[in-house]
Every structure is written in C-alpha cells, then in structure tokens.
Chain A
Amino acid sequence: MTRMTWLLMLAMTMAATVRSTHVAAADTARPDFNGLWQIAAERKSLLSGPDAVPLTPQAKRQYAENQAALNARKNSIDTMSRCLPPGIPRIMNLARPFKLVQNAHMLAFLFEWNHVSRWVYIDREHFEPLGPSYLGQSVAKWEGATLVIDSTNFNAATFLDDSGLPHGEQLHVVERLTLKTPEELENRVTMTDPVSFTQPWETVLTFRKLPGALVADDDWCIGSTGLVNAK
C-alpha cells in the first residue's frame, strides 16, 4: 500500500466517520431511551381511592357519570372503544408494548395500539398548534439525566385512565423521564388542570424493557370492531 493510498483511505474513513456520527452525535451524550418498553404493572385507575385525587366538584360529577356509564357497558363514551387515541398518560399505561426512538431533537413514541405515535420535540418551545388533539403537543428539555416533557393542547375527549378519570382542555402534563436502570424507565407524571383538579397531582409509571427491536406497525383497531365484516 502506497503512502498516498493509505492517506486516501484514512481521509475517506475520517469523512465516513464524521458523516455517520453526525446524525447520532447527541445519542451518546444523554441517557439512551431507545428500545421496546411496557408498563411494569398496568393500573386500571391511577388513583388509590376516590378521595386521593384533588377533583373539582365539576370533575367529581363527571367522573361519577363516566364510571356509571362504563359500569353499564356504555363504552362509546370511551375514545378507545371507538378506536380513537386514549391520550396521555393512559396510552402508556396499557399492557401493550411501545417503542422509543431517540435522537438529539426528538423522542418518538411508537405505540403498538392502533399504530398510534407520539412525538416529543427536544429543545424546542411550544409552537402554534394545529388544534386541540388527543395526545397534545409535547416539547422537552434535559435536566441532567432526566428528560422533562411538557405537554399541552389536549382535547377533552380522553380519559386519564381506564376508570374514566376526566380532564379538560386546560390539562397540562409534565413528565420526568428517568432511566433508573438499563431495564427500568420511570415516568413521574404531574397533571394540572384548573377545571378538573384543585391542585396539581402526581403519579408514577414504571416501564420494563422488552427484548426485540420492532413494535408492530399494523395493529388495526377498526378491524376488531367487526364493522368491516359486511361483505
């Protein structure tokens, strides 16, 4: 190998290295959330008891109505029964896997349920939304090894959990995502909503790492309703 050839190869290797690390540069500077995760223990209700949540009188009434309807199997009040996104934090509390894909500017949640995705924009301020949405708009910043996610701009259609816990459009969710171990991810969730809660309240979701690299992209909720069987 001539010196010129070696130098040329070195230059090509360096160029390739620079190129290949550009996209991933920030991946190694922060905790690595990439991978498949699932709630460690699904909870039907985020509350330990009816008095444990600071519900406003209006929200108490709504919660009672929701529970009565669900107990009477009037499931259409639940967005999930109509294949509409369950919102957060509920969608992370389902006993279904989700995948996190992370880079310097984005943390993407790829939920298995009905191939729903959620995007968390890192180091970006809230921007003009397209309108209230089921999953809201999420931006985040790093505080040391914790990613602090700030979400607003929700519609009021979703429940916060399977028990029918309501919220309004003023819901503000702050999540503190911390990798406790390589196999355990903690999400400390604080919810504020002056219409529904008399004060902010917190719940903690713990996720376990799952083996594998892919989450299903073709879960088809409408297909499970039987509606498309008409032939």
Chain B
Amino acid sequence: MTPAVLRNAHAAEGVSFKLFDAHVHLVADDTKRASAGSAQPAEVANDSAARSGLVSSDIPEDAPRADELATEDLVRSVKDSDLAPPSADSRDFNGVWFPDRSYKDGLREKPQYLPGKEPPRPKLAQGEALASDSVLCLPEVRFGGSGGGMLDMYVQNEKELVHFSEENADRRQILIGAEHPRQITPSVVGHSVAHWEADTLVIDTVGLMDTEVLKNREARKASSLHVIERIRKVRDGRYLEHQVIYDDPARLVKPYTTTWGERWRPDMNIGEHVCEEGFDRFEIVDGRVITPNTSPNTSSSETK
C-alpha cells in the first residue's frame, strides 16, 4: 500500500477500530483493507454490503472509524482561501475531490426491503472480521465515492466522465450523450450513460450484478437494481453534490434517495492504492478473515 503521507499519517502505528461486530487490531498496512466496508456513508455501506449479502446487525448508522474522523478533520481544516479555485465551468468536474461526511444537504432516506429480501446478517464473534467485498479486493461500484479517507478523481471530456476511486483503484466509465445498448453484459459496475439537465449530470446505471456471482463462479446475471445519480457543483463550485436514487422492485418497497458531497481539493493527488498488497497475510475461512492478529494460532496462507 502506498502511504498517503498526510491522509494516512494517523495510521502509522496501527490503530484499533470497529469492524462490523468486531473490535480488531491490525497493523497499519492491513488497516484499510480490513475496514473499507465501514468507511462509506452508512447508506452506501449498507447498499454495498447488501449486494455482497453481508450486513452486520450492529453497525450504528454513520459510524466512521476514529482514524477516519481524524483524517476528515485534518482535510477540513484547510481553508477554501488556501486552495486554487475550481473551474468556473459548472459542467467541469475534472480534478480531485474528497468525500466529506460533514456534507449534510439533501435527502437521506433509508431502504425499505420487501419481506424476505432484507440482506442477511451474519453473526460474528468478538475479534472476528468479515470477508467483505473490500477485504477480498473485489471490484466495487462506488455510488458513494471512496471511503477510508481516500479520494475521488474525475477525468472528463465531452463524451465521457470517468470516476476513479482511490479506494481499491475502482473506477466507472460514464458515457455522456450515449444510450444503453439493447443487450448489456452484467458487471459489477453496470452500464452507465448520462445526459445534462442544465448543469446537473444525470447518470443512469443498469446491468449491475451481485458480486456473489463472481465469488461463486456463477454465470453473470443482471440484478433489477436501477440507479440514477444527479451530480452538480454547489457552494461556489467547491463541492460536488451527488443525489443517488436506488430503485430495485425485486427487493425494495419503493425507491430511496441518498445524498452526499465531496470537496474540491486541487492540492491533493490520488494515490496508487493496491488492495492486494499483503493479501498473502490473510486467510479466508467460512467467510471470515483470519490474520495473525485475530487468530494467533492460525498461520497465514500464501497466494498461489
């Protein structure tokens, strides 16, 4: 893992944090990978976990780790006046943005699941860590942006917006002015097209599939989840506001909407995050992560 000097300074020695039901202590290199699932806004974390079929029953809503809060405080302490101004073009999203949990504008609804469609809630013992998608370095679609105190970067031209998430090097390609094809090969990130409504980019994503399909080596099958995002610059262009509408008639009573924001940070650079680094120190048993720290008597396996 490349050390992000400022952002990861707090994690230099290893930190204790809450990981789903368990309090786990890991060395610094393992901190992000084992905790990324809890680093997103609660709605997003729940949604991501729901797709993976794994949700803790005890995660408090909006329960960031202490080190994440410290990072965010550090990032927020920089004044706008000390930063280069963003592009005056309200349709120009290019650059580096920091997901900011303190952004509270907009609608924030909770999902209501149909009977029997609630995500499963595995019970973990104290000290156990869940083999979440993030821990397994699975590619993810990050409708909620990067977590873990990491950055987002957008590279945009007239025909396309690419959303790079520093976390796990995830990314999405959003085709502006295009339409969904009649046949879509289902994928983790789905198929995204967009159009402008005034200065708001409206992104329509379908063709999403469950990551469990990848894990189980099953044939790819699209879920009925349909996601619409409305992204616009607000607060003098210093924030990107994302309104995200999730609609899944097979699982949800009704669509629900969440909103989050990220701050313009031209002084920061997205880093090369390599999730797989250190993977050979983990062992996955019964959907649980076994490390020397969580199970001293279990030796780690080597990735072949």
Given A23-B91, A227-B284, also A131-B3 (CB < 8 A): yes
Contacts of A101 in B (CB 8 A): 155, 157, 160, 162, 173
Contacts of A133 in B (CB 8 A): 2, 271-272
Contacts of A81 in B (CB 8 A): 303-304
The 4 A-B pairs at the shortest CB distance, nearest first, are namely: A24-B158, A218-B188, A83-B276, A218-B139
| Contact with B187, one of A103, A105, A217 (Cβ below 8 angstroms) | A217
A21–B92 Cα distance when bound, in Å, is 10
Closest chain A residue, CB of each to CB of B6: A130
| Contact with A115, one of B139, B175, B304 (Cβ below 8 angstroms) | B139
Q: Is the CB of A223 within 8 A of B215?
A: yes
Q: A217-B139, A227-B304 are in contact. List 13 more A-B contacts (CB 8 A).
A: A24-B158, A34-B159, A83-B137, A103-B155, A117-B169, A131-B3, A213-B175, A214-B191, A217-B188, A218-B188, A220-B139, A222-B138, A227-B301
Contacts of A116 in B (CB 8 A): 169
Q: Is the CB of B157 within 8 A of A23?
A: yes
Contacts of A225 in B (CB 8 A): 303-304
A108–B156 Cα distance when bound, in Å, is 10
Give the shortest distance, in Å, between B195 (CB) and chain A (any CB): 12
A22–B87 Cα distance when bound, in Å, is 10
Q: Secondary structure of the B side of the interface?
A: loop
Q: Within 8 Å of chain A (Cβ to Cβ): is B90?
A: yes
Contacts of A217 in B (CB 8 A): 139, 170-173, 187-189
Q: Is the CB of A221 within 8 A of B284?
A: no
Contacts of A115 in B (CB 8 A): 139, 169-171
Q: Within 8 Å of chain B (Cβ to Cβ): is A84?
A: yes
A interface, CB within 8 angstroms of B: 19-24, 27, 34, 76, 81-85, 99, 101-103, 105-106, 108, 110, 114-117, 119, 127, 130-131, 133-135, 213-223, 225-228, 230-231
Q: Within 8 Å of chain A (Cβ to Cβ): is B17?
A: no
Near A by CB (< 8 A), chain B positions 1-50 give 2-5
Contacts of B274 in A (CB 8 A): 84-85, 134
Give the shortest distance, in Å, between A201 (CB) and chain B (any CB): 26
Give the shortest distance, in Å, between A78 (CB) and chain B (any CB): 12
Contacts of B285 in A (CB 8 A): 230
Q: Is the CB of A108 within 8 A of B303?
A: no
A117–B153 Cα distance when bound, in Å, is 12
Q: Is the CB of A119 within 8 A of B303?
A: no
Q: Within 8 Å of chain A (Cβ to Cβ): is B277?
A: yes
Contacts of A102 in B (CB 8 A): 157
Show 21 A/B contacts (Cβ-Cβ < 8 Å), sorted by A: A22-B91, A23-B157, A24-B157, A34-B159, A76-B303, A82-B279, A82-B303, A85-B272, A103-B94, A103-B155, A106-B94, A115-B139, A119-B164, A119-B270, A214-B191, A217-B171, A218-B188, A220-B137, A220-B138, A222-B279, A227-B301
Q: Is the CB of B169 within 8 A of A27?
A: no
A102–B3 Cα distance when bound, in Å, is 27
Of A101, A102, A105, which is in contact with the most chain B CB atoms at under 10 Å from its CB?
A: A101
Q: Is the CB of B304 within 8 A of A215?
A: no
Q: Within 8 Å of chain A (Cβ to Cβ): is B302?
A: yes
A218–B133 Cα distance when bound, in Å, is 12
Given A34-B157, A227-B303, also A23-B139 (CB < 8 A): no
B163-200 vs A: 1/0 string, CB under 8 Å? 01000011111010010000000011101000010010
Q: Within 8 Å of chain A (Cβ to Cβ): is B287?
A: yes
Contacts of A103 in B (CB 8 A): 94, 155-157
| Contact with B3, one of A83, A130, A216, A218 (Cβ below 8 angstroms) | A130
